[in-house]
Structure 1
């Protein structure tokens, strides 16, 4: 057999394995190990039936035939009914009882039964829960020491089936080889399964550690950033209480406070969305969405922020475009991108929003004439590197906006990217499939 054929055979066996022992997403590690060992025991016992018969061990061949039927039922009970604990209990007791009976029909201590008991005990330790170890050790020792003691005082109870010295070697040698092979395969499978579970556990622990670190940073920044708008509101209320302000001053302060509150509300909304996603996962409802109708409310809301900073906000939107999108997700993306553009664009700058058809996609561009992106931060622009960033007028954020944009664009089967030149502005692009 060539190397390619061997590789193909191994690949076929790997694909077949989940159907034999069970899928890892539906069966526990213990259940899969037991299924594998039950199938292995079934094959080994089945092979021994004709061998024992040909070597003159007729009773042993009959006992092993009954074990084949029994283990087929045990495998079915565990693999298809998922009653692994019941299967383990039945199999351990059944093996000890049948091996004890076979002991007296296969030359007792001179035969291969003790090797079989050793193998059975090894497999029992592999498949059973640690809380059951004491029971199975006692059962094995009680059974083996009991039959040995009985043979010692009643040697006539043991049937000597070996007619020649050669027959002893023909029975014990293959039994030993089988035991070694089964122990090797069982240990190898157990180690591989353990290493896979260990790696999966380490990856999960690392993800949890990263999420916990990000959460701690996020809430630390949140508690710090919320103090500024709350302090501003408190100062304004205190000012109203202490002195009588002119209407012009009131209007100016209220406009600034409204901008601060809107920015803080946007930050809180992003955090709430992120928190909900962490708890419940993403839920996407893709439907044909009128892109112009989705964007217009966001433009109206951002007019105040851009006007306050002296930024010109222009839009060139194709009213005929409909995209397959989740309306809430699309609006969150546009809201964050327009908000970011306003945040990093100085007074006298401009922001332009444009939608066009690009092949089978709707392309949304948000272009600004702002500060651009620092080259050192480009690699992490869409990642959850939680950090405070300051706009042209010290507007503050917690770094969640672009991360959510990336997550939500991908969830809608779209793409997001950007082009930026330090000091000359940035252009962010969102591409979503057109609705038929």
Structure 2
């Protein structure tokens, strides 16, 4: 324990008596609860001793006055060493000095008819407050035995007891002047124990709140990780779905070019179609990767005014070529002057997936029609086909990442 310098008027003293009192008894960071209780009791008992020394002299109670003097000197010595010299108070000496002084005062102050018996329990409570738990039973036993011995001596040897007070007024004054001592001891002891309990309770509640907050944060982080994984799975599903069509188109053109029956007139047409399909695939792949990267960093929408037909032309051409392999006709009716405010990548992604799914579930020789029209202040894009459609029991799940793909 560090050595502390005593200053009865610290800088914070003007904030109130509480700062002065805290300086006198020491702070929780430097002293244990037992030490702070001892400091408080010592200060109060020194003040009471300063009152009782002259009072007992005036009343002719010289033994009681001397006892109060010894009591005050003892407490001052123990308090000063504990508070300012970092020497812990001596529990054994403290307990024994109480037995000695109260034993002498008992016989000098009317014995069982005096006021000494009022102080025994309060002093024992103080002993309990400043000593470790393991010593409590020993002190309780010691005080009970000493109490019985003192009263037994009075019973068998009543001449040992002195009666400085007369019955009536003298006894009344003695009791009234002694009664505050146990009250002060009990009040300060209970106050510190209650304050310590309240602090521990508050600290426990704060720890419980901190644990609950930490638990909530863990759950939130867990949910964020699950959402992030879901987003990544969704993006991978979208990329694999969207890349399949252009790659199949390129594969088909390459198979035709390798076929022996392709003549010189058809080859340039197929090569131009292959180049167009490849360029469209590269453009779509570039846009898709750029959009996927931005979504991994957090969902974001970049709105801009775009021409609807020009924005969807590559997508429409690519899906038309893909549908032709199933002899499905894709037609579209989108006015060239429609301007919409939308996210280009998301718009292409949605239309591309709608048409691809229509191709997937439309039978051979079917029809797919894409319509773009302006309704009031909104633009409506409709993709219709003559395929099997979506079963009623699965329509509620089509916008969920957990939706299972079906075979077309």
Name the TM tier (shorter chain): 0.5 to 0.7
Question: Who is 2:229 aligned against?
Answer: 227
Specify which of 295, 315, 333 is matched with residue 260 of structure 1. Answer: 295
State the Cα deviation string for residues 39-88 of structure 1 (Å, max 9, x = none): 1122223322222222222223223212212111222244335666x455
Question: Who is 2:104 aligned against?
Answer: 101
Matched, 1:174 2:177: yes
Structure 1 contact 119–183 (Cα < 8 Å) conserved: yes
State the Cα deviation string for residues 172-191 of structure 1 (Å, max 9, x = none): 3311244345545654x347
Question: Who is 2:59 aligned against?
Answer: 55
Specify which of 7, 17, 24 is matched with residue 21 of structure 2. Answer: 17
SS of structure 1 residue aligned to 2:162: coil
Question: Who is 1:215 aligned against?
Answer: 217
Distance 1:259 1:28, change over 3 A: farther
**What CA distance in whole angstroms lies between the structure 2 residues aligned with 1:42 and 1:32?**
15
**What CA distance in whole angstroms lies between the structure 2 residues aligned with 1:106 and 1:49?**
15
Structure 1 contact 232–257 (Cα < 8 Å) conserved: no
Distance 1:123 1:243, change over 3 A: same
**What CA distance in whole angstroms lies between the structure 1 residues aligned with 2:15 and 2:197?**
20
Alignment of 1:3-402 (within 5 A): 12-80=16-84, 86-156=89-159, 158-162=160-164, 164-165=166-167, 167-180=170-183, 182-184=185-187, 186-187=189-190, 189-190=191-192, 193=195, 196-197=198-199, 200-201=202-203, 204-205=206-207, 207-208=209-210, 211-232=213-234, 235=237, 245=247, 246-263=281-298, 309-310=302-303, 347=343
Computing the radius of gyration from Cα coordinates, the structure with the larger value is 2
Distance 1:209 1:311, change over 3 A: farther
State the Cα deviation string for residues 18-42 of structure 1 (Å, max 9, x = none): 1122234544544433322221122
Distance 1:103 1:255, change over 3 A: same
SS of structure 1 residue aligned to 2:45: helix
Structure 2 residues without counterparts, runs of 5 or longer: 1-12, 248-280, 306-340, 345-399, 401-408
Greater CA drift, 120-129 or 196-205:
196-205
Distance 1:30 1:311, change over 3 A: farther
**What CA distance in whole angstroms lies between the structure 2 residues aligned with 1:132 and 1:107?**
31
Question: Who is 2:310 aligned against?
Answer: none
SS of structure 2 residue aligned to 1:263: coil
State the Cα deviation string for residues 273-324 of structure 1 (Å, max 9, x = none): xxxxxxxxxxxxxxxxxxxxxxxxxxxxxxxx78xx2579xxxxxxxxxxxx
**What CA distance in whole angstroms lies between the structure 2 residues aligned with 1:111 and 1:224?**
79
**What CA distance in whole angstroms lies between the structure 2 residues aligned with 1:244 and 1:78?**
87
Structure 1 contact 42–72 (Cα < 8 Å) conserved: yes
State the Cα deviation string for residues 380-404 of structure 1 (Å, max 9, x = none): xxxxxxxxxxxxxx9xxxxxxxxxx
Distance 1:63 1:346, change over 3 A: farther
Structure 1 residues without counterparts, runs of 5 or longer: 1-8, 265-304, 313-344, 349-393, 395-436
More strand by share: 1
**What CA distance in whole angstroms lies between the structure 1 residues aligned with 2:245 and 2:98?**
93
**Under a length normalisation based on structure 2, what TM-score does the superposition of the two structures give?**
0.52
Structure 1 contact 55–170 (Cα < 8 Å) conserved: no
Distance 1:239 1:101, change over 3 A: farther
Structure 1 contact 38–75 (Cα < 8 Å) conserved: yes
- How many residue pairs are counted as aligned between the two chains? 264
How far the C-alpha of 1:212 sits from its partner, in A, is 3.4
State the Cα deviation string for residues 226-253 of structure 1 (Å, max 9, x = none): 2124425654897899999554344233
Distance 1:223 1:181, change over 3 A: same
**What CA distance in whole angstroms lies between the structure 2 residues aligned with 1:106 and 1:132?**
30
**What CA distance in whole angstroms lies between the structure 2 residues aligned with 1:244 and 1:128?**
86
